[in-house]
Structure 1
């Protein structure tokens, strides 16, 4: 039997939206005495039927368990709840799984320390139905001893539970960066599907070509990351001079089909600027120098 199987730490969950309910349900299913609270008390009824204890107030809920998990809509909601529970938190580990900025996470960590609590910030890269399964992917940062103390309990939430580091803001950095990759990829993909659709090509016919292309990207992405760290930019995806020549055709093709080209024009402007600065032989990864210094 694993440490996670043996661990039955009482847990409080503040916030019972779709994700908060999934978190509380998973704790219950793994044998943790679970106290719940939500502004709309009716959201707790199903969990109470499964064995959860419904607290009368957020401070009562926070006082009920050594591990307090907060998962609400946004930072404003976090602040409203924290304003009420400070006196109940000394000696507890507060885990905030609400998405927010690194600065907000660091401010919350300072606030928690002032109220005698250890603070872990977290990011959930999963949908509610993935919580408690191998598809659950959660990131944490904050005091290492606090994470290690509650690691067995937190691992129940997902198959991938990763501790990033002691800086409370780092989980938010990773979360925002990874979510950003998702949004950038999805919108680029939709632009591409609009293009092929304008040529009467079904999206499902074209999709396997895209998934096949991405399946071979691991080596290139690693090489680009290495180039970024080193500040040395070999032609990892071809020299920028070649990309500059291709961009006009890409933009013209989309324009001919009535597809938005704003994003491609932005990429072209980055390439053209870098080439004009004498870096036409550098690889695509060298655009990091322009992206990271927009005013130079």
Structure 2
């Protein structure tokens, strides 16, 4: 059984392959935006709710790919994405594919190279939200790959997030952008949770702390442009806030943590980075100098 909505024929069709939590949210966004939407999943029953909303259920990957001018893929792993797309055979040639599957930059570039060799206009997208955030005005999506595909389908892709941007002609770059955001997020969250453990050990409510210190914490992101400039230029000397001035404060945090029985692994790691940089002659450099620790090559 196939079903199509009756009021969206003026908008270009979209096919969504993969109907997990994210894929279902993507398909729903296209449907809500008035686009004829074809869906396919290995487990056909996962399409039932979308078909009830007006989506067309494809009987095969080939059917899904051939049904629309834009094919969106959201599955578990890029090896699976390629395996599924291969099932479309020559129906892929000339199609526009946007792969929103997570993976490393190397994995994504491998799929992009293969897809391009099949005559596909290819984009990779890194969507920076969980499923409920799909379609929100502030949702960020990084795209990399064919500018022709991006320009042609920008309006349709805008339904997935209001802050979509083509960041590179290289399909692997969006995943690096996403990892950079996540790495910053996890580092920040781990630091905050360590702070929360320290505060609550003293009986201080974390919410009360934020009422007093929120402005200082919010201001931290304001130094990222300065750090970015130093990293990009490779110039780290600074007249203020040098590493030698960070060292005593980090030492105090480690001592306080140990004295209270709070896990000191996180601040102690930072102490090791700062102490080594100072010992290596970088006492008067900014914190950005520590980027060299992470550059193993």
**Shorter-chain TM-score above 0.5:** yes
Higher mean Cα deviation, 256-265 or 29-38? 256-265
Query: RMSD across aligned C-alpha pairs, in angstroms?
Result: 1.9
Equivalenced residues, count: 290
2:157 matches 1:179: no
2:52 maps to 1:52 = no
Q: Which moved more, 1:133-142 or 1:234-243?
A: 234-243
* Among candidates 10, 13, 16, match of residue 13 of structure 1: 16
| Residue aligning to 1:122 | 125
The residue correspondences of 1:81-120 to structure 2 (distance < 5 A) are: 81-120=84-123
> Does the C-alpha gap of structure 1 residues 169 and 43 become closer, same or farther in structure 2, counting only changes over 3 Å?
same
Distance 2:240 2:175 in 1: 29
The 2-side partners of 1:188 and 1:90 are apart by: 49
Gaps of 5+ in 1: none
Question: Following superposition of structure 1 onto structure 2, how do residues 250-265 of structure 1 map, counting pairs within 5 Å?
Answer: 250-265=253-268
Describe the shift of the 1:46–1:237 C-alpha distance in structure 2 as closer, same or farther (beyond 3 A).
Answer: farther
**Cα displacement (A) at 1:80:** 3.2
Residues 170-203 of structure 1 deviation map (CA, whole Å, 9 limit, x = unaligned): 1111111111111111122111111111111122
How far apart are 1:54 and its partner, in Å?
0.6
Relative to structure 1, the CA distance from residue 53 to residue 251 in structure 2 (aligned partners, 3 Å threshold; closer, same or farther) is same
Contact in 2 for aligned 1:141/1:165 (Cα 8 Å): yes
SS in 2 for 1:94: strand
Does 2:79 align with 1:79? no
Report the Cα offset of residue 130 of structure 1: 1.6
Task: Work out the CA distance in 2 between the residues paired with 1:37 and 1:223.
Answer: 46
Determine the structure 1 residue equivalent to 2:145. 142
- Cα 1:236–1:148 change in 2 (3 A) is farther
Q: What is the CA-CA distance between 1:12 and the residue it aligns to?
A: 0.4
- 2 CA distance for matches of 1:154 and 1:286? 39
Q: Aligned to 2:282, what secondary structure does the other structure show? A: coil
Once the two structures are TM-superposed, the CA of residue 6 in structure 1 deviates from its matched residue by 11
Per the alignment, residue 228 of structure 1 pairs with 231
Q: List gaps (5 residues or longer) in structure 2.
A: 1-7
Q: Given the two structures, how large is their TM-score scaled by the length of structure 2?
A: 0.92
SS in structure 2 at match of 1:73: coil
1:131 and 2:134 matched: yes
CA distance in 2, matches of 1:216, 1:9: 44
Q: Which segment drifts farther, 268-277 or 74-83?
A: 74-83
Cα distance in structure 1, aligned partners of 2:56 and 2:136: 24
Gap change, CA 1:150 and 1:234, over 3 Å in 2: same
Paired residues of 1:235 and 1:282 also in contact (CA < 8 A): yes
